[in-house]
Amino acid sequence: MWSWVLHRITGVAIFFFLLVHILDTALVRVSPEAYNAVIGTYQTPIMGLGEVALVGAIVFHAFNGLRIILIDFWSKGTKYQKVMFYVVIALWVITMLGFTPRHLINVFSH
């Protein structure tokens, strides 16, 4: 249940990020200055924290996506779905422990 709820929420969040991301990247074709101006506004600590949330969402969605593929295609997948969910959480924690400190040091040392 919760794996599904989280998968939905992170999926929708990533969708909206991609939407904005395509729009701001498309600005390059409008004018490079406009693109630089918009990208410049992303270089703030708040956006830095937002990036942590974004990476967290993507990492969860990716690992849980692999878990769902295993549930659908591996004959023992449904039996081990709970274990696999804990593995997803563990992998997520490990990835975020590796990523977050380095990223925040970068963000705040500018």
Partner 1 sequence: MSTAVIDEAAPAPTPEVIESFTVTVIIRRFDPEVDEQPKWVDYDVEMFATDRILDALHKIKWEQDGSLTFRRSCAHGICGSDAMRINGRNRLACKTLIKDLDISKPIYVEAIKGLPLEKDLIVDMDPFFESFREVQPFLIPSSKPGAGKERIQSVADRARFDDTTKCILCAACTSSCPIFWTDGQYFGPAAIVNAHRFIFDSRDDAAKVRLDILNDQEGVWRCRTTFNCTDACPRGIQVTQAIAEVKQAIMRGKP
Q: Which residues are annotated as a binding site?
A: 61
34, HSE (Cβ side, Cα atoms, 13 Å):
9
Least distance in angstroms from the C-beta of 4 to partner 1: 4
Closest approach of Cβ 84 to partner 1, in Å? 11
C-beta closer to partner 1: residue 38 or 68: 68
Q: Which amino acid is at 70?
A: L
Q: Which is nearer to partner 1, 57 or 64 (CB)?
A: 64
Positions that interact with partner 1 (CB under 8 A): 1, 4, 68, 71-73, 75, 77-79, 81
Answer whether 43's CB lies under 8 Å from 93's CB. Answer: no
Tell me the CB-side half-sphere exposure of residue 22, using CA atoms within 13 A: 5
**Distance of closest approach, residue 13 Cβ to partner 1, in angstroms:** 17
